[in-house]
Amino acid sequence: MSRLRSLLAGHWVALLCVVLVAVLGPVVPGFSSSANLRNVFSSLLPLLAVAVGQTLVLITGGIDLSVTAVVALASVLGARVMTADGGLLAGSPLAVPAAVALMLVIGLLVGTANGLSVSRLRMPPFLATLAVMTFVSGFAIWLTRSANIAGLPEGFRLLGAGSLGPAPAALLVVGPLALGVHLLLTRTVLGRWLFAVGGNARTARVSGVPVERVVLFAYVACAVCAAVASILYTARLETGSPVLGQRILLDVIGAVVIGGTSLFGGRGSVLGTVYGALFITLLDNGLNLMGLSSFAVLMVKGAVILAAALVDATRERLERGR
Amino acid sequence: MTRLVTRWPALGLLVLVMAGFSLGSPRFLEVPNLVNIAVQSASLGILATGMTFVLLTAGIDLSVGSLMFVSAALAGKLVVGGGSLPAAFAVVVVAGLIGGALNGIAVTRLGIKPFVVTLSTLYIGRGFALWLTETRALNLPDSLLTVGSARLAGIPVPVVAVALVLVGAHLTLERTAFGRHLYAVGADPEAARRAGLPVRRLILSAYALCGLLAALGGAVAVAQLGAVSPTFGRDREFAAISAAVLGGVSLFGGRGSVLPGVLLGALLMQTVENGLVIVNADPYLYPMVLAAVIFVAVLLDSHVRGTHP
Amino acid sequence: MRKHAARGILAATAFAVVSCSAPAPEDPGAGTIGVAFETLQTEFWVAAIDAIRSELDARGMTMLEAIADGDANKQLEQVRGFIARGVDGIILVPRDGKSVIPMVRAANDAGVPIVLFNRPPDPSSARSVAVVADNLAIARATGEFLCEQARASGERKKAAILVGDLGDQNAIHRRDGFGEAMAGCEDAVEVVSRIPTEWNQEKALAGVTNALQAHPDLGLIFTSSDFMLPSIVSALRTAGKYHEAGEEGHVILGGFDGDVTAWRMLADGYLDATGVQDVFFESEASVQALEDLRRGAEVPPVILDEGFVIHSGNMEEVQGRMWGARVAQRATRGGRGGA
Amino acid sequence: MIPSDRPRGAPLLEARGIGKSFGGAPVLEGVSFSLEAGRVLGLVGENGAGKSTLMNVLGGVVAPDAGRMTLGREDYRPRTPAEASSRGIAFIHQELNLHSNLSIAENLFLARLPRRRFTPFLDRGWLASRTGEILAAVGLEVSPWTPVSELAAGERQLVEIARALAADARVVILDEPTTSLGSAEIARLFALLARLKGEGRGLIYISHSLGDVLSQADDVLVLRDGAVVASGLAESFDEPSLIRHMVGRTLATVFPPRSRRRPGDPVLEVRALTRPGAFRDVSFTVRRGEVLGLSGLMGAGRTEVVRAIFGLDRIESGEVRVRGEPLTPPSPREAVARGLALVTEDRRDDGLLLEASVADNLALAALGAHARRGLIDGPGLARALAAQAGQVRLETAGGFARAAATLSGGNQQKVVLGKWLLTRPSVVLLDEPTRGIDVGAKQQVYQLVSDLADAGTAVLLVCSEIEELLGLADRILVMRQGAVVAELPPEDFDQERILAAALGGVARPEEERE
């Protein structure tokens, strides 16, 4: 039942996306052009990577505010390794693989810190990850003394800009990632455990679910997803930046929640998150193309998220009433 | 003392932090600096008090910083246009109440989760205020600064304001039916409903109060600044939530206190920022030090009070 | 760092001479211009976008605006959006010189002329015109002027600097420029306090108050942006140290931007100097450069806004180029609030 | 206060022809009864018989479609719980309704906290003295400002009753008031009920414990499928007749026949298990095919021992062995891996994922067995679930996709049992497995326990209903104050002896129960 409901929620948002396209298409010049749809797609992918990770954490009933800091720290450290401007491995053929590996390891480490704080030290996720976010992003800025790092190797930049046939290279990263998490949630023991922990951690524990490890996994996976997004963002900008992703948190959580994942845990799906991220990206893109002033963009975005949540709440209430 | 510290980990940390800074600079423990800390904590203390009302109902208000900005912008426009300070103050109060009440209505009547509601109003409010101010800074007349830096019986006005708010909120929460009902609603809304409490109205009032205090906290800040810039209030919600939680307020509702809880939380955060300037720390260290203090405080708190659900 | 910038300008010049004539000529009159700003959080940027808007209006062009709110990725998306929308030109305030390169390249690929406003790109093969003020140099000049004031006072001053958001390149350049000036001024000034503000007035106020507590004899304050001047004034007033230049106990004040508050404080004698970027020149030059590019004319890759330091000594002659002064006078004439 | 000289026989609360349907399905049909002042009406019925809906109608939670009610002499048609309580109806719920973060005084007067005149502030003096009086009346000697979180379960139940007194309720409805109480506390509760009766209040007593109903009630009302199937003076019923009315058929024997089981090798060995403050030096062995009963009063440490064996709570010293091998590290995960299963006493918080589907709940503990390298074998799992549901006789309309929260208590318990049996456990720990479930479901649980033992499973059964232990266990241990004080072989099974051991030779206040 619960899964059916979240599935409905996901499809409902897909419908919303279609409506958005139908409304904006004729009004906004260039909106339905293939170039623009490619833009939407390439903006969607890194956001989706972060959002998919966040979905895992929200399903366990937690929240991870530190994803933005992971994006930033991974970006500068990865760039440090491979930049032609005095990077550790500048010019080496190993530079790109080593940098990518390091970026993923950053995700692993920060995720472990989050996960242990929540599972082992029993800190409330909101504050634990808020503190980690503040620390890690401060650390990233301190490391670079505010400077951005350019001179990234061509091979790395291709991850952001390259394409294979019609598909952007990033799709080859995010597609399998999303599919993997989807299969994880729907087909594996670990997936069921994630839902169980979010549904009722006490019951899960009594039932032999290794609750602490499951929670730890969710935070680690979430941070690694953020690191993947960091790779894409960094490649796309051809720059390692200590403030990369500083402002994406609200988009990420907005996307996941619009996609029908519960903030209280136990409910959510990757498909829903895909739709949610698509919706946010389309909205952003459409508002951008309209060239509205920045305050109008803020207001419209806020109002649309609220309206989406309202429709979702109403729909759910109707379903419950039945 | 030991008992006090185990009961209020923020107090122990505050003592530690103060001891550390006083070693770093002899000026830190001088009375004028302690007064500075009190003045600088005023706005945050008021915001965190408002946040406490909402957190007690197991809600959250992410729009606090945005509401600060909206009410300050409205009142600022009025003053710049020649309105009087009392009129501007009335605007602040009304704008805060209305903004908070709108959050409350969305939460209680529309059935949307507080996180999503206030996330949306965060965007909407900021957009609205930027539109109002044409994204320019509003420079307010000196008369406002005079109020902000005045002293009543030797006590700076912002400190008087925060003291009134803290004591008022404390009495409201501990000694009135409304306050006790908020605790009941936060811990178990279903049982509170069965007991005949007007649950929706209580939650709505909590958000309205939070909005009011956000606006007041903004006013206290503006009275000290003399200006409202487009970044006014940005990210203050996180500071307010942190201060409240450092003071022992639970994010899961029904637990926490304004005195000494929120007071300690706000003082701790502001003391760290103050001390770092006094000892002339590397600017890059600020966020890391503050994050570490918050982390330790929350860690201690969750161990003293048992685990979160 | 600065060497890089210089090299970049050279390289870009070379490229530009070869390539800036590429776009196909068309009717340069009407058209749609995408204007993407990294932020609007200080008044300087608002003044700039307003100036660009009126400049475009005057030429009958339509303006689309986009604010990235400090997020370079969002800005990349916005630029791509403009291109998809089919704009005739882009004016861009990049977050920094490095992350802007893919944006410029995207515009190049689409044949859309692009002008970088206020911040130069790092060296690359991407082609753009940059209308820039050298934040570092102007801040250094301001710092040097403040240094002279301190020397003239005859005592060694303790100084504080309000640093902007550490993630913002302008903030860093201004900090570094001031730092360079102070490095050559150790006889007269000792920097005792560096206050991070995250471009937040409240933090600035608390920071200055605290610095005054730590160093009651603070004699010089430099802010990385004029919009934080009210915070300094408030802190000084509360401490009883807000005095006009020449009065006993005057704290030497310097700023950057040249906004309305700075102009008033200069006029009243409280502010010693502020570094000014010529917003009107930059706006006009940017729009003109776009038109030239569209027409196929040659445009140098870097158009420099020299900027200047305004102080009581030169106020009469240069205030006409100080945007804060113009905004303030217009506001007074039009009777409009907001200043 | 209600004048106690109100003439007997005048109905205090009267309902005539109450009907209610949900989505076209009738839940209550033509229910009528009357409650007289100073009397106790016992209400029994299987889960789903309509008791809770009837109570919700009385409590103003749902409005009836048909019929009318009078309270005193006035029309009674409550629209909200608050209105019901202001008219003098008080509920004492199965799940406690107290706010544990508030003090006793605040709980008693929550919706009517008094103000000091001309101020917005609470009149704490009045609150304290009034609460003190009421607490004295219910025999609870603690400060009115004690947070409820610091009270034991039995004390909380007394606070619930104190709350009814504070509201000066004319009608007090008790819904399974004894489920969380030990025998001594039950005795105290019953004494209090007698007092309430004496004051002229009307009581409605709802319970699955038919013995309690028969001993406490003056009149009895039996509901089945939403209609009254029997009513009359309590004396005219006995347990078998009540059960007959409730289930609509005669249950030949309540407990499954004890087959000739031969306990085999020791499977679960507990050696000198100790945790100061909870239990000390507890040792016992459960063998293959044996049902070991664990008896004792509330707070004797039974639940604590069971949870510690399963690795849920800390052990200070001692050890647990499964098939001769020590169970280390003690964790639920390890316990499950070694073939242990635990049905906890708290179904909602420890047993179920309420929002998740029946299927997800059933599968939770046995996922590993139906997966290869972490990948779930969907069809295989579905087959196993269907088979398991059959074994525990789980019948749910709407199939396995329903949320567990929507099931009746009995079906929820079957889901929990099914979840564990799916792991093919060799040791099953059952903590109050029949609490709060209806007679039919109880019967099925008994059968399951018996079947398990027959199939060679070792069963440790914690149960407060001594009859159930007597009917199911092969051997009974009695705990008192954290220690095992008696072990009884079947030939010594005797209710009196067990109680005496549980109480530790103190004079039994238990007579009223019989």
Cβ C209–B130 below 8 Å, yes or no? no
Task: Write down the pLDDT at residue A24.
Answer: 86
Structural domain including B121 reads 2-304
Is residue C151's pLDDT more than 80?
Answer: yes
Give the residues of chain B that fall short of pLDDT 50.
Answer: 307-309
* Biggest CA-to-CA distance, chain B: 58
Residue C43 maps to a domain: yes
Task: Write down the pLDDT at residue B244.
Answer: 94
Q: Distance between CA C235 and CA C241 in Å, rounded? A: 9
Task: Write down the pLDDT at residue D23.
Answer: 66
Which residue does chain B place closest to A254, by CA atoms?
B116
C86 and C213 co-located in one domain: no
Q: Is C296 on the interface with A (CB under 8 A)?
A: no
Task: Write down the pLDDT at residue D182.
Answer: 72
Task: Write down the pLDDT at residue C332.
Answer: 63
Instruction: Please state the domain count of chain C.
Output: 2
Chains D and C touch (3+ CB pairs under 8 A): no
- Helix-strand-coil percent breakdown of chain C, rounded to 5? 50, 20, 30
* pLDDT tens digits in sequence order for chain D, 514 residues long: 444 444 445 688 999 999 988 766 778 889 999 999 999 999 988 766 788 889 889 988 888 999 999 998 889 998 888 888 888 888 887 666 788 889 999 999 988 888 888 888 999 999 999 999 999 888 888 999 999 888 877 788 888 888 888 888 899 999 888 776 777 778 888 888 898 889 889 999 998 778 889 999 999 999 988 889 999 998 998 888 887 787 765 444 467 777 667 778 999 999 999 998 889 999 999 999 999 999 887 678 899 999 999 999 888 999 999 999 998 778 899 999 999 999 998 888 888 998 889 999 999 999 888 888 889 998 999 999 988 888 888 877 667 888 888 888 888 999 999 999 999 999 999 998 987 787 788 888 999 999 999 999 999 999 877 778 888 999 999 998 889 999 998 888 887 788 778 776 543 333 333 3
Q: What is the DSSP letter of C234?
A: H
Query: Which of D459, D428, D430 shows the shortest CA–CA distance to D347?
Result: D430
Task: Write down the pLDDT at residue B148.
Answer: 84
Residue B309 maps to a domain: no
Q: Is B131 on the interface with A (CB under 8 A)?
A: yes
Gap from B227 CA to chain C (nearest CA, Å): 6
ipTM of the complex in this document: 0.84
Give kind and range of the element (H or E) at residue D390.
helix D378-391
CATH code for the domain of B187: 1.10.3470.10
Residue ranges of domains in chain D: 38-63+77-247, 253-339+425-514, 350-424
Task: Write down the pLDDT at residue C11.
Answer: 42
Which of A188, A196, A204 has the CB atom closest to D374's CB atom? Answer: A188
Q: What is the DSSP letter of B259?
A: I
> Which residues 6+ apart lie within 8 Å of B289 measured at CB?
B272, B276, B281
Residues of chain C numbered 161-200 and touching chain A (CB < 8 Å): 166-169, 171-172
- Using one digit for the tens of pLDDT, what is the confidence trace for A300-321? 888 988 888 887 778 777 766 5
Strands (E), B224-287: 227-228
B140 close to B228: Cβ distance less than 8 angstroms: yes
Structural domain including C93 reads 2-133+278-306
Residue B239 main-chain phi, psi, to 5 deg: -65, -40
Is residue C337's pLDDT more than 60?
Answer: no
pTM given for the model: 0.87
> Which residues 6+ apart lie within 8 Å of C160 measured at CB?
C191, C192, C193, C194, C195, C208, C211, C215, C218, C220, C221, C222
Residue ranges of domains in chain A: 2-321
Q: Distance between CA B285 and CA A63 in Å, rounded? A: 26
C198 and C99 co-located in one domain: no
**Structure tokens belonging to residue A307:** 């309206």
> Which subunits sit against C, judged by 3+ Cβ pairs under 8 A?
A, B
Q: Distance between CA B200 and CA B193 in Å, rounded? A: 9
- Using one digit for the tens of pLDDT, what is the confidence trace for D182-216? 777 788 888 888 988 898 899 999 987 788 899 99
Query: Which of A281, A295, A276, A285 shows the shortest CA–CA distance to A30?
Result: A285
D65 close to D19: Cβ distance less than 8 angstroms: yes
Gap from A127 CA to chain C (nearest CA, Å): 21
C157 and C224 co-located in one domain: yes
Query: How, if at all, do strands B155-156 and B151-152 pair?
Result: antiparallel
Task: Write down the pLDDT at residue B309.
Answer: 39
Which residue does chain D place closest to A207, by CA atoms?
D365
Question: To which residue do tokens 């007593």 refer?
Answer: D205
CB pairs under 8 A between A and C: 114
Q: How many other β-carbons are positioned within 10 Å of the β-carbon of residue B213?
A: 29
**Ramachandran sector of residue D373 (left: φ over 0; alpha: ψ -120 to 50; beta: rest):** left
Write out chain A residues lying below 8 Å of B285, CB-based. Answer: 138, 142
Beta bridge partners of D227: D224
CATH class of the structural domain D253-339+425-514: alpha beta
Which of A33, A242, A290 has the CB atom closest to C84's CB atom? Answer: A33
Who has greater pLDDT, C6 or D320?
Answer: D320
Q: Distance between CA D401 and CA A3 in Å, rounded? A: 9
C116 and C189 co-located in one domain: no
Which residue does chain A place closest to D419, by CA atoms?
A207
Q: Is A246 on the interface with C (CB under 8 A)?
A: yes
Task: Write down the pLDDT at residue D48.
Answer: 67
Cβ A29–C70 below 8 Å, yes or no? no
The answer to whether the Cα torsion of D326, D332, D336, D340 is positive or negative is: positive
Gap from A190 CA to chain D (nearest CA, Å): 7
Write out chain C residues lying below 8 Å of A285, CB-based. Answer: 77, 81
Cβ A141–C169 below 8 Å, yes or no? no
Task: Write down the pLDDT at residue D6.
Answer: 44
Which residue does chain A place closest to C41, by CA atoms?
A294
Which of B171, B197, B254 has the CB atom closest to D110's CB atom? Answer: B197
Query: Which of C30, C82, C37, C23 shows the shortest CA–CA distance to C56?
Result: C30
Which of A3, A189, A206 has the CB atom closest to D371's CB atom? Answer: A189
Amino acid, res. A107: G
Q: Is D376 on the interface with A (CB under 8 A)?
A: yes
Is residue A167's pLDDT more than 80?
Answer: no
Which residue does chain B place closest to A316, by CA atoms?
B111
- Using one digit for the tens of pLDDT, what is the confidence trace for D22-80? 766 778 889 999 999 999 999 988 766 788 889 889 988 888 999 999 998 889 998 88
Residues of chain B numbered 155-214 and touching chain C (CB < 8 Å): none
Cβ D81–B181 below 8 Å, yes or no? no
Average pLDDT over residues C170-190: 93
Which residue does chain A place closest to D311, by CA atoms?
A206
The answer to whether the Cα torsion of D3, D4, D5, D8 is positive or negative is: positive
Mean pLDDT of chain C: 85
Number of H helices, E strands in chain C: 12, 12
Which of A1, A192, A202 has the CB atom closest to D367's CB atom? Answer: A192
Confirm whether D38-63+77-247 and D253-339+425-514 share one CATH topology.
yes
Task: Write down the pLDDT at residue D153.
Answer: 73
* Biggest CA-to-CA distance, chain A: 65
Chains D and B touch (3+ CB pairs under 8 A): yes
Separation of CA B306 from chain center: 25
CATH code for the domain of C166: 3.40.50.2300
User: What DSSP string describes A143-205?
Assistant: HHTT--B----HHHHHHHH-EETTEEHHHHHHHHHHHHHHHHHHHBHHHHHHHHHHH-HHHHH
Mean pLDDT of chain A: 88
Cβ A285–C81 below 8 Å, yes or no? yes
Beta bridge partners of D478: D295, D486
> Which residues 6+ apart lie within 8 Å of D496 measured at CB?
none
Average pLDDT over residues A209-229: 96
Q: Distance between CA A171 and CA A174 in Å, rounded? A: 5
Gap from D104 CA to chain B (nearest CA, Å): 12
Write out chain A residues lying below 8 Å of B291, CB-based. Answer: 131-135, 138
Task: Write down the pLDDT at residue B43.
Answer: 95
C76 and C157 co-located in one domain: no
Any idea which architecture A2-321 has in CATH? Orthogonal Bundle (1.10)
Q: Is B202 on the interface with D (CB under 8 A)?
A: no
Q: Is D227 on the interface with A (CB under 8 A)?
A: no
Task: Write down the pLDDT at residue C334.
Answer: 46
Helices within D139-173 (DSSP H only): 153-166
Give kind and range of the element (H or E) at residue A278.
helix A270-290
Residue C339 maps to a domain: no
Cβ A295–B245 below 8 Å, yes or no? no
Cβ B197–D102 below 8 Å, yes or no? no
Cβ B119–A124 below 8 Å, yes or no? no
Cβ C213–B130 below 8 Å, yes or no? no
**Structure tokens belonging to residue A56:** 């895992």
Band the pLDDT of C246: cuts 50, 70, 90. confident
Find the angle CA(D288)-CA(D291)-CA(D297) to the nearest 5 degrees.
Answer: 140
Band the pLDDT of A8: cuts 50, 70, 90. low
- Using one digit for the tens of pLDDT, what is the confidence trace for C127-136? 899 998 888 9
Q: Is A2 on the interface with C (CB under 8 A)?
A: no
CATH assignment, D38-63+77-247: 3.40.50.300
B43 close to B158: Cβ distance less than 8 angstroms: yes
Write out chain C residues lying below 8 Å of B135, CB-based. Answer: 40, 46
Burial label for C244, CB within 10 Å (0-12, 13-18, 19+), is exposed
